[in-house]
Amino acid sequence: MRAITYQKYGPPEVLHLSHVAKPVVQDDEVLIRVRAAETTKADCEMRSFTFSVMWFWLPLRIAVGVRRPRRQVLGGYFSGEIEEVGKNVIEFSVGDQVFGSAGLRSGAYGEYVALPASYSIASKPANMSFAEAAAVPLGGLNALHFMRRARIQPGEKVLINGAGGSIGAYAVQIAHSMGAEVTAVDSSTKQEVLKQFGADHFIDYATTDFTTGGQTYDVIFDMVPRSSYSGSIKLLNPNGRYLAGNPRLSVMLRSSFTTRFTDKTALFAFARETKAELAALREMIEAGKIGSIVDTVYPMERVADAHRRVEAEQRVGAIVIAMDDRDNAGTERQSAEE
């Protein structure tokens, strides 16, 4: 089968289209014919081994390969079709259209991936293309996790910093569906899309520091590692909640003091990416409450371009790799909702 591989850490040019052995399905696994895979910031960080948050650099390097990557096929989030099921698998059948997460196994940058049936895999939303569905699990699962942890009530004021990223864009939609008044913070190029997705107010970080605006919030969801923790905490109303989606070590330490010694709560718990959450996202998508936005779909041969676009931070929506021409390779920005 064809797969995008890398033999060493480095720039996008280390990625190559190769022929590798097709995975062999174990008794508790499913073989998925991958139709589309999201190119994420995490993929780019793993490829280059350069991270915006550095506290886990050494343990992660030991885990994934000190001199070169042990797993040479990236890709954690995908959509596709079940091609084969292990003899112990009862919840999936050949031909099922699915989307989900490959977890730490990765491998979705290949035409096939074999994963335990217990992983976060669920039926693909019926009203989405494969490219659109592949753009859901990363952002959707993490956003749903944090918005539920925030315990948002109708009418509360919610600020999302980094609202135009994979996770932030879903957080805007989910918070809006919960009845919140949503303020989105990001680049001005993303204002139109975020307003379409439910943002009531928009702040351009290039011209305005939201921590100095004087407006207070019930919930702040922060996806920007280098933002001001103290500045955000000062903006919280009594009993306000601060959620760090990409926390520095200092924020992790300070959050416990904030929660223990003030009337505010600071959280940084990471998403578990469960099947139940993925099924909940599918229901919300099919009900028209949330949708995905795809900036660009690239063919496998242009994976280096896909990584460059993610790293440029100029995309509006997800960057997706299509595994064949049926999956809209080469198309520009597509929105699941208008």
Q: Is residue 113 part of a domain?
A: yes
- Residue 149 shares a structural domain with residue 112: no
Among residues 229, 251, 267, the one where a domain terminates is 267
Asked if residue 253 and residue 188 are part of one domain, the reply reads yes
Three-state secondary-structure class, residue 163 = coil
Task: Tell me what pLDDT residue 57 has.
Answer: 56
Residues 156 and 131 in one domain: no
One pLDDT digit (tens) per residue for the chain, 338 residues: 999 999 999 999 999 999 999 999 999 999 999 999 999 998 998 898 876 655 555 566 666 666 778 889 999 999 999 999 999 999 999 999 999 999 989 999 999 999 999 999 999 999 999 999 999 999 999 999 999 999 999 999 999 999 998 899 999 999 999 999 999 999 999 999 999 999 999 999 999 999 998 899 999 999 998 899 999 999 999 999 999 998 888 888 899 999 999 999 999 888 889 999 999 999 999 999 999 889 999 999 999 999 999 998 878 889 999 997 655 544 544 443 33
| Residue 163 included in any domain | yes
Is residue 157 domain-shared with residue 93, that is, in the same domain? Answer: no
159 and 245 in a common domain:
yes
**Complete DSSP assignment for 88-130:** T--S--TT-EEEEE-GGG--TTBSEEEEETTSSEEEPPTTS-H
Query: What letter represents residue 78's amino acid?
Result: F
Same domain, 112 and 15: yes
Residues 91 and 145 grouped into a single domain = no
Residue 262 CA to residue 253 CA, distance in Å, equals 15
Residues 239 and 331 grouped into a single domain: no
Residue 160 in any domain: the answer is yes
Is 84 in the same domain as 131? yes
Q: Where are the beta strands (DSSP E) in 86-235?
A: 97-101, 112-116, 121-123, 157-161, 181-186, 201-204, 217-222
Based on the domain organization, do 128 and 143 belong to the same domain? no
CATH number for the domain harbouring residue 236:
3.40.50.720
- Domain-located, residue 32: yes
Closest CA to 24 of 100, 98, 107: 107
* Boundaries of domain holding 319: 2-136+292-335
Asked whether residue 316 is assigned to any structural domain, the reply reads yes
| Predicted model pTM | 0.89
Q: Are residues 131 and 217 in the same domain?
A: no
SS in 3 state form for 257-324? HHHHHCCCEEECCCCCCCHHHHHHHHHHHHCCCCCCEEEEEEEHHHHHHHHHHHHHCCCCCEEEEECC
105/143 same-domain check: no
What is the total count of domains within the chain?
2
* Identity of residue 109: Y
pLDDT of residue 60: 63
222 Cβ contact partners less than 8 Å away, ≥ 6 residues apart: 161, 162, 232, 242, 243, 244, 245, 246
Q: Is residue 282 part of a domain?
A: no
